[in-house]
Structure 1
């Protein structure tokens, strides 16, 4: 078994596609309208559905509001340089709601942004960040 996709219900499909594709750099893999059910499905991701997990954006045509609830947490993305990534995402219209820094009670560097519907996207530094590497390599007494 493997994870195929995660489904998110979205109010404005075009705004959500713009966020996931234009801001986060995913590709629209496929999209289909279901007129009898009055909904549209759009699948976005970084790779093909055959090889990677993707996100299914579900837009119910007659629904313009959802309650996020408190059970769902977030989607996590690994990044090489979290500080540069946050800067680039902000420049492309992304809303960073927790600036990069170590997580509480740990040392992993994380940040959070929010999609148009309020879903949280966690960014996780995959390798040592340039800032932490510079601090670690600073000579003693510097």
Structure 2
């Protein structure tokens, strides 16, 4: 068994795809409209679906915004240089919500950024 993908519901699919491609450097792997169901699925990732875990963005055509609730945590991405990565996010118009530094009660260097829908993405220094 292996983990295939994580799904997030997004209000503005184009803005979300742009964020994950231009700000986080992912690739759009596939995108499918389901007209009868009035939704679109877009799969993005750093590797092909056969090789790695990917992100599924689900856009329900009649929903502009979601309540994120309090159970969701974050998506984690490993990076070689967390400081450069956070700077790149800022330069590309993204939002860094926790600057790089050691995690509370530990020594792992982490940072958090936020996507257009408010989902948190954790960067972890390799």
Q: What TM bracket, shorter-length normalisation?
A: over 0.9
Corresponding residue number in structure 2 for 1:130: none
Structure 2: runs of 5 or more not aligned: none
Q: Please, what TM-score do these two structures have when normalized by structure 2?
A: 0.98
1:46 aligns with 2:50: no
Task: Give the root-mean-square deviation of aligned CA atoms.
Answer: 0.6
Structure 1: runs of 5 or more not aligned: 127-142
1:13 aligns with 2:13: yes
Equivalent residue runs for 1:1-142 within 5 Å: 1-126=1-126
Q: Distance in 2 between matches of 1:61 and 1:88?
A: 31
Q: Distance in 2 between matches of 1:116 and 1:108?
A: 26
Say how many residue pairs are matched. 126
Q: Which string of whole-angstrom CA distances, capped at 9 and with x for unpartnered residues, describes residues 17-74 of structure 1?
A: 0000010000000001000000000000000000100000000000112110111100
Q: Distance in 1 between matches of 2:43 and 2:36?
A: 20
Relative to total residues, which structure has the larger strand share, 1 or 2?
A: 2
Q: Distance in 1 between matches of 2:22 and 2:104?
A: 30
Q: Please, what TM-score do these two structures have when normalized by structure 1?
A: 0.87
Corresponding residue number in structure 2 for 1:129: none
In structure 1, the residue corresponding to 2:63 is in which secondary structure? coil
In structure 1, the residue corresponding to 2:105 is in which secondary structure? coil
Q: How far does residue 2 in structure 1 lie from its aligned partner after superposition?
A: 0.3
Q: How far does residue 94 in structure 1 lie from its aligned partner after superposition?
A: 1.4
In structure 2, the residue corresponding to 1:71 is in which secondary structure? coil
Larger Rg: 1
- Which contiguous aligned blocks of 4+ residues in structure 1 show a shift greater than 3 angstroms? none
